[in-house]
Structure 1
Amino acid sequence: MNILDQIIENKRGEVVAAKSTRSLNELQDSEFFERETFSLKKSLTERSGIIAEFKRQSPSKGIINDHSAVLDVARSYEKSGASGISLLTDHHFFGGSPSDILSVRNEITIPILRKDFMIDEYQFHEAKALGADVVLLIAACLTASQVQEFTDLSHSLGLEVLLEIHTEEELAHFNSNIDLVGINNRNLKDFKVDLQHSVTLKNQLPAGILTVAESGIYSVEDFKFLKQKGFDGFLMGEYFMKNENPGKVFQEFISKISM
């Protein structure tokens, strides 16, 4: 069983537990459920194009940052020009929590991506109730029909969808209702990074689709390479979070890519 399989197996148990704790009706009665969401598609074109991530740990890297406060980092990211904030809500493998979104929702005015392993309808209602604007659909753990179903559900809730792919086979998960396509430079099964592979996949998507380069962007050179190849957005977390002051490093990165 690879790490992705382990994550999905654990996620099924988490969803069952969440359903027993808070019903759909309770989610729909929450403070943020009726709020008008922010558009990541729009923000990518108006700001830096970077979806800056708050990330405490990962299965491949272990502890990345266990001292920074999510609200401080999110505020710094926004101030320096982030197009959006990515918040991991998986606890067991990534050290995140749904409460991370709740804690920053009223404090920033750019889109929040709920980054998790979305496998059940309940999670989409939960994302809306938390105050998320965008949800991640990972092709590697969904069928093409599930992607279509979850995309329609997300849109009915006012949420945008970022579909993540990594292989040519996963291109078949794309449908015309998808808002953005993320191409993961890191293979979720063995964690190897290959930027050129992502460019090859991008070139097989229909023209006009907003694309986001995800993971494995470790330098200004990586960013500029992917930008030159036509990517519209860049999901980055570890590059900033591995430092004592992620917000400061993000600000410095923005200055470098603007030169």
Structure 2
Amino acid sequence: MTILDKILQQKQHEVQQLLTQQTIQQVSRPSRPSLFDKLYHSKHLQVIAEMKRASPSKGLIAEGADPVAQAIIYEKSDAACISVLTDAHFFQGSFEDLAAVADAVSIPLLCKDFMIHTVQIDQAKNAGASVILLIVAALTDEKLSELYSYAVAADLEVLVEVHDEMELKRALALDAKLIGVNNRDLRTFEVDLQRTEEIAALFPFHEKRVLISESGIWQAEDALRVSKAGANAVLVGESLMRSDSVAEAIQSLQVATQGVVR
């Protein structure tokens, strides 16, 4: 059983628990700017900054980190979006973290989790997310389409995550506008930035879409590499959580975009 299999097995259990609880009461929250617009029109590589306490591959990264304090630093440091991990079992996150961050910042807010059911999307929106993540590797075509349509109908933006050419084709079949390349293989958790270059070589930039490079981004050289490939943004968690100067770290990643024809 791969790490992804174990995570999805746990998610099935969590979803069953959610479905036995009372209906989620919708909370009215102010709208947030469009993440797509922010990334598509930018002249430099944007940073999606992640609140991340732990991971299956690295163990504890920032145990006890305050999500609100971290989010405020991210917003003040000109992050384009804040990603909040809401998985509790493997990443030590929570929807309470997401709701607390939503009350503290006004920029786009991504709920980072392993979505397999619409009830999780309801929960994410209720906690203040303006963007959700759908991982192609975790979903059948039917379920991917169902969740994507459900989220869009709920006025949420959707970041569709891929890892190889076949998954890119599946994301494009949805007409996804925000597509992320996970440089980490969720089956083995090995990281390789070449993934972004391989997907970018096949990416239809002329179709008004944006490409986000996720995982393995530590320094300016990494940012330059994926920017040259065509990435509009990077999603960065561990390196920012470990940084002594978040503002400087984010600034170092905001390199000029490298002139990919769009």
**Where in structure 2 are the equivalents of 1:32-181 lying within 5 Å?**
32=29, 35-44=30-39, 45-46=41-42, 49-174=46-171, 175-181=173-179
Task: Please tell me the residue identity of whatever aligns with 1:36.
Answer: S
The answer to whether the Cα contact below 8 Å between 2:213 and 2:235 also exists between their aligned partners in 1 is yes
Range moving further from structure 2, 193-202 or 131-140: 193-202
Q: Which runs of 5+ in 1 are unaligned?
A: none
For residues 198 and 52 of structure 2, the distance between their equivalents in structure 1, rounded to whole angstroms, comes to 28
Give TM-score scaled by structure 2 length: 0.90
For residues 97 and 171 of structure 1, the distance between their equivalents in structure 2, rounded to whole angstroms, comes to 29
For residues 165 and 86 of structure 1, the distance between their equivalents in structure 2, rounded to whole angstroms, comes to 17
Range moving further from structure 2, 147-156 or 159-168: 147-156
Range moving further from structure 2, 211-220 or 46-55: 46-55
For residues 217 and 241 of structure 2, the distance between their equivalents in structure 1, rounded to whole angstroms, comes to 13
**Where in structure 2 are the equivalents of 1:220-235 lying within 5 Å?**
220-235=220-235
- Residues 106-160 of structure 1 deviation map (CA, whole Å, 9 limit, x = unaligned): 2111011000000001111111111100000001111223222211111110100
For residues 22 and 35 of structure 2, the distance between their equivalents in structure 1, rounded to whole angstroms, comes to 28
**Residue in 1 that maps onto 2:2:** 2
For residues 111 and 164 of structure 1, the distance between their equivalents in structure 2, rounded to whole angstroms, comes to 18
The answer to whether the Cα contact below 8 Å between 2:223 and 2:254 also exists between their aligned partners in 1 is no
- Residues 176-215 of structure 1 deviation map (CA, whole Å, 9 limit, x = unaligned): 5313000011111112211122211122122232000000
SS of the residue corresponding to residue 151 of structure 2 reads: helix
Shift in CA distance, 258/4, structure 1 to aligned 2, threshold 3 Å = closer
Give TM-score scaled by structure 1 length: 0.91
Task: Please tell me the residue identity of whatever aligns with 1:49.
Answer: Q
For residues 257 and 212 of structure 1, the distance between their equivalents in structure 2, rounded to whole angstroms, comes to 13
For residues 256 and 141 of structure 1, the distance between their equivalents in structure 2, rounded to whole angstroms, comes to 33
**Residue in 2 that maps onto 1:242:** 242
**Residue in 1 that maps onto 2:260:** none
Q: Which runs of 5+ in 2 are unaligned?
A: 256-262
Deviation at 1:38, TM superposition (A): 3.0
SS of the residue corresponding to residue 181 of structure 1 reads: strand
**Residue in 2 that maps onto 1:254:** 250
Deviation at 1:39, TM superposition (A): 1.3
Count, aligned residues: 250
